[in-house]
Structure 1
Amino acid sequence: MGEPTDCAIFMNSANGSAVLDGEEVDSETSLGESISVQGVALNPVTGTDGRFTTTGCGLWVQLPPLKPGNHTLTIRGRARDFAVDVDYSLTVGAA
């Protein structure tokens, strides 16, 4: 949660990658968008079920439609004291 200036500081050190089935997926940078969030009671961020507005930023990827079968998606990212390292095994069924 933060203001546009918080996003600018955060994104200054942001880097990351996404790899789908061994091929790098291009990312898009969002430098700061106003977002509205509806919390749920006892959530670890605000603790309440209220609605609040904050600024969201980050590196985003949009995957192409996947063919039926097994796929792997690896996401790595870091900015300041935040890090994400995720490995997905995806199975797409026939339409």
Structure 2
Amino acid sequence: MKLVPLGDRVVLKQLEAEETTKSGIVLPGQAQEKPQQAEVIAVGPGGVVEGKEVKMEVAVGNKVIYSKYAGTEVKLDGEEYIIVKQSDILAIVE
């Protein structure tokens, strides 16, 4: 099965959280903060959203930083994804 986003939506796959701090302390799963970095898996076509023309500025394979409480989490074929609006993406990591 494949997710195909509509309008200005983007499907993201969250990158793994770091398990150790910079000083070398290993964090248990509950103490790890969810990372706000993700990889773009699929991009919608853009188009007219709320009367404004939306040009998609991200592409499949980009690594991005997104808003902390943005999007909808979905689980498909045992994988977890987040569907967000393009406006919830803050930056592309190069």
Choose between structure 1 and 2: higher strand proportion. Answer: 1
TM-score, L = length of structure 1 = 0.22
Choose between structure 1 and 2: higher helix proportion. Answer: 1
TM-score, L = length of structure 2 = 0.22
Compare CA radii of gyration and give the structure with the larger one: 1
